[in-house]
Structure 1
Amino acid sequence: MDLKETEILGDSISEHWYYSSKAKMLEKVIGSISKSKILDIGAGSAFFSKYLLQNTPAQECMCLDISYPSNSQSTIDGKPIYFCKESEPYKADLVLLMDVLEHIEDDASFLKTFVEQLPVGTHFLITVPAFQFLWSGHDVFLEHQRRYTLEGLINVVKECGLTPQKQFYFYGLVFPLALVTRLADRLGRNNQEPESKLVKHHPLVNWLLKKICAIELHFMTFNRLAGLSVVCLAKKA
């Protein structure tokens, strides 16, 4: 996840509806696939890796992010987690790219580099922001290059030699609200001014949004229409 958003939410990140819902989505999508060793590319605060180490049978994780000041190591529930500035040899069962590809100018070449390094059978879980028409100052603030459609992400995944296994939009139930908000921003002020849309909501609002996303977890893999995020679980075959 982006470190800029970590700075905004601070210690409350695990309770924020957006991140808590995405973590539960991640856990549900990967299900019973092998995830003993996780490689988290562009990990930032390592929120999702830490969640998996705490809530699944995953045993260790390597977090890769150029923003780290130096290489370091820690533990989560007694399980090792490594923080690295540069890519190092690591045979992972599961690779996470949680909102990473949208930051990369040549997304396909970037992803292909890691696909070629890892063995057949490795799973990749990729999320990216959805729909270019939702572009706003939030994307400018986070230094995004683009937003994606489901078809667009699948094309990148296939180009890199991966076989998609699950692909869908997430945050579909809150999509109408987000769309109205973005349209209102465009009418009211400069929508391209760099500004994060991520805020700490009133506890009641946050609770309600979490409940809405919890409902979506039951049918999310069937959503090919719309959402705020595009999700793809793919495998190197």
Structure 2
Amino acid sequence: MAQSPSLSYPGKDLEAMSFAVNYHQWIMDVFSPYLTGAIAEVGAGKGSISNLLLEKNIDQLVAFEPSQEMYPDLAQSLAPDQRARAVNDFFSPSYGQGIFDAVVYINVLEHIEDDRTELTHAWQALKPKGYLLIFVPALGWLYSSFDQQIGHFRRYTKSGLMNRVKNAGFSILQADYFDLVGILPWYINFVLLGRSLGQGSVSLYDKLVIPPMRVIEQIVPPPIGKNVLLVGQKI
């Protein structure tokens, strides 16, 4: 497996986040119009997002996961679907240039120290007019010991992420803050109290808060949020 100095955390799948079913489905539904053809998923972890991607109308999924610990679970999870291939390596131009219709980073880009170079790699890997799909944590003042513990180099602002993506050669089709209500509990639990993510709290928030917030934010985009969701297109 090739080594890379840019990726600090070898997989994005936190066990507790696997219980965020409605949360992940919301993200997938926003990205759905751009998920066709050949898809590269960067930092696939154990495959929870990979399997949601395979529910979409895609022809091929190449899921990159450099962690030797997580890769066997990813490979096993994707084995039943002939459209999917798991790669135990870092995403890089060596796997092909101009071959993907979309490159997906869901809770991954914040783990990559040199995110500007990573976005250039995504641009190189995409076909002309291909899509860049990003979901990241937002707001630097929400950065906590928990972020540091799981390998986050940063939290983004919407404008900061847009500038990085534009500088890599993409146009911006959509950029929105996401999960306004999540700001307060995140700040209290992780910034003030220094807690870790718990399976029970994730499941409860996912069941009670996410469904109504999804409806509200689709009608009135929030001015700020716990995350940023962005769709870019290769120029």
**What letter corresponds to residue 28 of structure 2 in structure 1?**
L
Instruction: Give me the whole-angstrom Cα distance separating, in 1, the residues matched to 2:54 and 2:82.
Output: 7
Instruction: Give me the whole-angstrom Cα distance separating, in 1, the residues matched to 2:196 and 2:156.
Output: 19
Per the normalisation by structure 1, the TM-score is 0.79
**What letter corresponds to residue 139 of structure 2 in structure 1?**
F
- 2:227 match: 229
The change in CA–CA distance for 1:207 and 1:106 in structure 2 (over 3 A counts) is: same
Answering whether residue 121 of structure 2 is matched by residue 113 of structure 1, we say yes
- 1:153 match: 161
Instruction: Give me the whole-angstrom Cα distance separating, in 2, the residues matched to 1:38 and 1:30.
Output: 12
**What letter corresponds to residue 61 of structure 1 in structure 2?**
L
Q: Is the 8 A contact 2:145 2:190 kept in 1?
A: no
Return 5+ residue gaps in structure 1 as ranges.
186-190
**Among residues 155, 176, 179, which one is paired with 1:171 in the alignment?**
179
Count residues with an aligned counterpart.
Answer: 217
> 1:205 Cα deviation (Å)?
5.2
- 2:7 match: none
CA deviations 1:159-203 (Å, max 9, x no partner) are: 110111000111113323333444542xxxxx4xxx632432396
Task: Give the fraction of aligned pairs with identical amino acids, expressed as a percent.
Answer: 23
Instruction: Give me the whole-angstrom Cα distance separating, in 1, the residues matched to 2:67 and 2:192.
Output: 34
Residue 226 of structure 1 aligns to a residue in which SS?
coil
Residue 115 of structure 1 aligns to a residue in which SS?
helix
CA deviations 1:121-158 (Å, max 9, x no partner) are: 11011111101100112101211111111011011101
Answering whether residue 43 of structure 2 is matched by residue 42 of structure 1, we say yes
Answering whether residue 135 of structure 2 is matched by residue 127 of structure 1, we say yes
Answering whether residue 15 of structure 2 is matched by residue 21 of structure 1, we say no
CA deviations 1:6-30 (Å, max 9, x no partner) are: 3x46xxx2xx23x531332222x22
Q: Is the 8 A contact 1:128 1:148 kept in 2?
A: yes
**What letter corresponds to residue 2 of structure 1 in structure 2?**
K
**Among residues 66, 85, 88, which one is paired with 2:88 in the alignment?**
85
Answering whether residue 107 of structure 2 is matched by residue 99 of structure 1, we say yes
Instruction: Give me the whole-angstrom Cα distance separating, in 1, the residues matched to 2:35 and 2:211.
Output: 29
**What letter corresponds to residue 24 of structure 1 in structure 2?**
W
> 1:34 Cα deviation (Å)?
5.0
Instruction: Give me the whole-angstrom Cα distance separating, in 2, the residues matched to 1:167 and 1:136.
Output: 24
The change in CA–CA distance for 1:178 and 1:212 in structure 2 (over 3 A counts) is: farther
The change in CA–CA distance for 1:147 and 1:203 in structure 2 (over 3 A counts) is: closer
**What letter corresponds to residue 200 of structure 1 in structure 2?**
G
Residue 93 of structure 1 aligns to a residue in which SS?
strand
The change in CA–CA distance for 1:141 and 1:49 in structure 2 (over 3 A counts) is: same
Q: Is the 8 A contact 1:131 1:148 kept in 2?
A: yes
Per the normalisation by structure 2, the TM-score is 0.80
> 1:77 Cα deviation (Å)?
6.9
Instruction: Give me the whole-angstrom Cα distance separating, in 2, the residues matched to 1:74 and 1:142.
Output: 23
**Among residues 140, 147, 155, which one is paired with 2:148 in the alignment?**
140
Instruction: Give me the whole-angstrom Cα distance separating, in 1, the residues matched to 2:189 and 2:203.
Output: 20
Instruction: Give me the whole-angstrom Cα distance separating, in 2, the residues matched to 1:58 and 1:48.
Output: 14
- 1:199 match: 199
> 1:233 Cα deviation (Å)?
0.4
> 1:110 Cα deviation (Å)?
1.5
The change in CA–CA distance for 1:133 and 1:203 in structure 2 (over 3 A counts) is: closer
**What letter corresponds to residue 148 of structure 2 in structure 1?**
V
Q: Is the 8 A contact 1:74 1:80 kept in 2?
A: no
- 1:219 match: 219
